[in-house]
């Protein structure tokens, strides 16, 4: 397992920074590629003194070349606030970024793992979501730049395998949370925690009965690394998420309780195409990777709250 050179695109982002840290701890040499659109050097500042860590500022829509054994392709804004800011560049990041990663993997005969998303299922008509479900996605909505960009990236992975025998792996990430989340990324966990710590109203969009499943970032990273280690030919896709299902109102009440906040809950209009249910079926991950998430929501929220207490001062 040790002594590999591993490229992590989006490595200074929320999930990427945790992945870089874990790979270094396992003895890998890590090349972190990021353009800092949503990532931050502060997320990986503790890694900069490690001689096995390289940091490169670069946009994945532009081809790049590094001698590596494995590529984790995480580069893409992943929250609606950020991916809708420049929707065309979001599509380019998903599609051109995937092509550039696959071309490099093809040239080097390297493994490449694509961080896809549960958003490929859209507003699902099947619950919980299994990997063989094709989804219910609006191709022309305000979320489409992300949803369809990631769907196209999956298509590219399978076509590069069929056409060029590239060793590809596809995971679909469900809601993930933990330290290094951006305080203004518009995601529900970070939104609620920041609002609660500041004593502001906690804003719920819709009636709060829509559901989500929340996976702590350390569990996700363990699943990603396990997927990368699977045999060639096993592409996936594989759902990675915590199957525990909570309503948004449940989450808000948990955050208020854990922060001992005086915040009040207020309700606003639900955005267009916002999915009403999101819960992964993880039987494939459990069967093929031996993976199950271990950190419960209360414990993960406490760790995340501690992080935001430090960065918000």
Q: For the domain that residue 31 is a member of, what is the CATH number?
A: 3.40.50.720
Provide the pairing of β-strand 265-268 with 202-205: parallel
Distance between CA atoms of 301 and 189, rounded to whole angstroms?
8
User: Residue-wise pLDDT tens for the chain (313 aa)?
Assistant: 558 999 999 999 999 999 999 999 999 999 999 999 888 999 999 999 999 999 999 999 999 999 999 999 999 987 777 778 788 999 999 999 999 999 999 999 999 999 999 999 998 899 899 999 999 999 998 999 899 999 999 999 999 999 999 999 999 999 999 999 988 877 899 999 999 999 999 999 888 998 889 999 999 999 999 999 999 999 999 999 999 999 999 999 999 999 999 999 999 887 766 677 788 999 999 999 999 999 999 999 999 999 999 988 6
Residue 203 within a domain: no
pLDDT of res. 273: 60
Distance between CA atoms of 119 and 265, rounded to whole angstroms?
26
Distance between CA atoms of 215 and 304, rounded to whole angstroms?
12
Residue 235 within a domain: yes
pLDDT of res. 60: 97
- Give the count of alpha carbons within 13 A of 122, CB side only: 21
Peptide bond just before 17 cis, omega within 30 deg: no
Residue 180 within a domain: no
Buried b (16+ CB within 10 A) or exposed e, 146-160: bbbbbbbbbebbeeb
Residue 21 vs residues 6, 78, 221, 249: alpha-carbon distances, Å? 12, 20, 10, 33
Peptide bond just before 268 cis, omega within 30 deg: no
What domain count does the chain have? Answer: 1
Residue 168 within a domain: yes
Residue 209 within a domain: no
How distant is the alpha carbon of residue 294 from its chain centre? Answer: 18
Residue 93 within a domain: yes
Find tokens 């270094």 and name the residue: 24
Boundaries of domain holding 50: 5-175+216-241+277-294
Task: Assess contact for 99 and 164: CB atoms under 8 A.
Answer: no
SS3 141: coil
Residue 171 vs residues 38, 127, 151, 258, 295: alpha-carbon distances, Å? 21, 18, 12, 31, 20
| Six token digits for residue 246 | 């909570």
Catalytic residues: 146
Q: Which stretches within the chain are classed as H helix?
A: 14-25, 41-44, 80-83, 87-108, 144-164, 188-198, 217-228, 248-259, 283-289, 297-311
Residue 108 within a domain: yes
Residue 13, C-beta contacts closer than 8 angstroms, at least 6 positions apart: 34, 38, 39, 43, 74, 75, 78, 180
| Six token digits for residue 90 | 């979001």
Residue 165 within a domain: yes
Under DSSP, the state recorded for 45 is G
Helix axes 248-259, 297-311, angle to 10 degrees: 60
């Amino acid at each position: 397992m040790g002594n590999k050179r591993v490229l992590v695109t989006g490595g200074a982002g929320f999930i990427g920074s945790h992945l870089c840290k874990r790979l270094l701890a396992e003895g890998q040499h890590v090349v972190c590629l990021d353009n800092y659109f949503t990532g931050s050097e502060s997320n990986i500042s503790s890694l900069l003194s490690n001689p096995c860590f390289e940091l490169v500022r670069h946009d994945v829509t532009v081809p790049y070349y590094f001698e590596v054994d494995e590529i984790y392709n995480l580069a893409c804004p992943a929250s609606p606030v950020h991916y809708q800011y420049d929707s065309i560049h979001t599509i380019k990041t998903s599609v051109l970024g995937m092509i550039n990663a696959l071309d490099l993997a093809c040239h080097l005969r390297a493994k490449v793992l694509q961080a896809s998303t549960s958003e490929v299922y859209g507003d699902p008509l099947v619950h919980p979501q299994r990997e063989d479900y094709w989804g219910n996605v609006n191709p022309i909505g305000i979320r489409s730049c992300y949803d369809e960009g990631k769907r196209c990236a999956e298509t590219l992975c399978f076509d590069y395998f069929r056409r060029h025998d590239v060793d590809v792996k596809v995971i679909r990430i469900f809601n993930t949370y933990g330290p290094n989340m951006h305080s203004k990324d518009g995601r529900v966990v970070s939104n609620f925690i920041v609002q609660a710590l500041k004593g502001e109203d906690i804003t719920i969009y819709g009636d709060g009965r829509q559901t989500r499943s929340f996976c702590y970032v350390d569990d996700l990273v363990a699943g990603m690394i396990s997927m990368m280690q699977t045999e060639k030919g096993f592409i996936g896709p594989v759902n990675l998420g915590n199957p525990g299902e909570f309503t948004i109102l449940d989450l808000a009440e948990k955050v208020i309780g854990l922060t001992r906040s005086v915040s009040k809950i207020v309700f606003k209009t639900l955005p267009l195409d916002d999915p009403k249910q999101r819960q992964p079926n993880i039987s494939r991950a459990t069967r093929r990777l031996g993976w199950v998430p271990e950190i419960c929501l209360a414990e993960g929220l406490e760790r995340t709250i501690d992080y935001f207490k430090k960065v918000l001062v």
